[in-house]
Structure formats: structure tokens, C-alpha cells
A = this chain, B = another copy of it.
Amino acid sequence: MEMNERKKGILKAVINEFILTAEPIGSRTISKKYDLNVSSATIRNEMADLEELGYLQQPHTSAGRIPSDKGYRFYVDSLINIEKIPESFEEMIRQKYLARKKEVQDIVQVTSRMLSHLTRYTALVASPSSPEYFFQHLQLVPLEGKKVAVIVVISSGLVQHQTVTLQNRPSREELEHISRLINDRLQGLELGRISNDVFRELEKELRDRTIFRELYRSLLEFFSEEGMNQEWGKIHLDGATNILEQPEFSDLEKVKVFLKLFEQEDMLKELLNKIPAEGLQVVIGKEVPLEEIRDCSLVVADYSFQDKTVGKMAILGPTRMNYPKVMATVNFMAEVLSKVLREED
């Protein structure tokens, strides 16, 4: 026994219907609502076959069928076309981006908010992060007392800052001297290459400056792998409560697990990192690399900046997700965001 056109049609109908209703689908429903020109008995037989093939499953004997993960997989891979998003939408989205200050956090926030609003599921957006970014500028600004603000600008427009308290009050000249030296040395370097070595060389040159010694540690920390990871690639989440609208989350225990997860940013980060995002990816049910949400699906896309993939965005929802719509939306948003970032540049 193998898949034929009629089986495909029935599978598609069942999944479409299940996405709509979240209830097990019986053969009668299909024969009435969909024009397949066969009786419910025939559909019943086909559904039994589809179950044997692993695409459908039955919660209990006297209930209808629901799709299995394998069923969804087939549906996503072979049965649907991604919806077309109307051109006019792009303009609207651009407006939203323009309305906000164009800091990285703002962009990420706007993106996640739009994603969650458009899909009514939960959106995750990782802010741009790439070891391939270039160092551009470092500025040391003396503050009150013994404090210094260390401001680092990488690639275009991405700024990070940090305050350091020194042992003694530094003079403005001293700070300027040091920042000039550091800038000369790091100018145009890829972040990934600003290793300890570079700093060790710098340390030699600046050995006599006690101030540098003190700055040294925090700069090292800043450019270390962990420092990088901590500051960049932060995950912004929106629409967490949307899952509460889904009938599969009427169980409080499940909700708990879910929301607990959302409070652990590192988990989410790892989750997204585990998904090899190039283009549009759909991860269904048991394929999800995170125990707690094995009954969910993820739709992930990457976005780029200066022609490099720098971040990902994702929609997290029940496996019974409106895939055509969500896939279209995520894909579209990733494209628009990449465009917006390119133009900004």
C-alpha cells in the first residue's frame, strides 16, 4: 500500500480541518465538508490506511483521527503551498520599523511584536550576532569620580557600552591616548579575531599605563566569547500569552512548563542555535530539540545584515499550527527585515 492522490487529498483535508477545530476528525466530516466525491465509508477505509502508514492516529477507538508528526511533516513538505503575502503589507511593515528608533533592541522588539500579532502564536527573535562583525570604534568617556564608560561600536550602528570603576581618577588625556592606541590596533578587525593575543600585544605596549591594566580585564571580558554571547544574540520574545488561547494549553501544567521555559533566555538561545537556519525551516513535534516542547512546532527563518546571516526569528506554536500562514509570515518578515537592514546600511 502506498500514497495515492486520493489519500493525499484526504490527509490534507484532515489536517486542514484539525488545524481549524483542534478536534479529532471523523470520516463523515470530511465527506460532507470536502468535495472528494466519495462516501464516508471509503474515506474511513483510506483513513485506516493512512493510520497504518503512520500519518494519522486515533486518540481512542471511538474517536476521529488526528495527524501524527509524520503526517504534519508530509503536509508541510508536499501538500501545501506557502501563501502569498500581498505586496501592500511590506509598506505597512516598513512604516512600523520607521516609527521606532532604530536601535537593535527596537528593531528586534518591533519584529517580534509583529510576528506574534500576525500569527497569534509566540514569536522569538534573536538579535543580530555574528563573530564576523567588524570592530569599528572604541570610546572611553570619563564619568564622575573614578568611573569610565567604555563604548564599543561594531559594524554599522551596533553600539554596546559598559561602565568600569578604576582605582584612580584617570585624566582625559590618558584615556584619549589609550583609546587611540586601542582603536589603531583593533580597527577593522573581525570580532572573532580579537583574541587574547591581540590584547596581550596591546598590554605590552601599554604596560606602563596602570589604567590600561585595569581596563584590560573588562575589555577582555567584553570581547571574550562569553561576553560576546551575553551581549549579542539576545532573544526577544513576544506573544507568550497567545498560547493560552490554544485549546491544547487548557492544561495548567503544560502552560507552566511553557512559561517557565520562556523565563530562561539561555534555553531559548540554545534552542534556536540548534536549528540550522538557512532559509525557512519547519521543525515539528518530536523533531524539536528541546524536551519540554516536544508537542510544539517551530517555524524558523534567518535574516541577514551585510549579506551575512546574523540572526534568526521563529514562531513557536502547537504542532496543530496554521503552517501555510505562519510559514508565509515568517519568511516574509525575515525578508523584509533583511531588506530594511541593508538599506539602513
Contact = CB atoms under 8 A, between A and B. Distances in A.
A28 interface: no
A290 interface: no
Nearest to A260: B241
A260 B245 CA distance: 11
A345 B143 CA distance: 10
Nearest to A102: B163
Interface of A: 101-103, 136-137, 139, 141-145, 147, 149, 151, 153, 155-157, 159, 161-163, 165, 238-241, 244, 250, 252, 255-256, 259-260, 263, 344-345
Given A141-B139, A163-B102, A259 B244 contact: yes
A147 B157 contact: yes
20 contacts: A102-B163, A103-B162, A136-B143, A136-B144, A137-B141, A139-B141, A144-B155, A145-B156, A145-B345, A157-B163, A159-B163, A165-B344, A240-B259, A241-B259, A241-B263, A244-B252, A244-B255, A244-B256, A250-B252, A252-B255
B144 A149 contact: no
The dominant DSSP class at the A interface is mixed
The complex is assembled from copies of this chain, and their number is 2
A162 B103 CA distance: 6
Nearest to A249: B252
A142 B136 CA distance: 10
B161 A159 contact: yes
Contacts of A144: 136, 155-157, 345
Contacts of A101: 162
Contacts of A103: 161-163
Contacts of A157: 143-144, 147, 149, 163
A145 B342 CA distance: 13
A238 B264 CA distance: 11
A149 B141 contact: no
B162 A141 contact: no
A283 to B, nearest CB: 24
Contacts of A137: 141-143
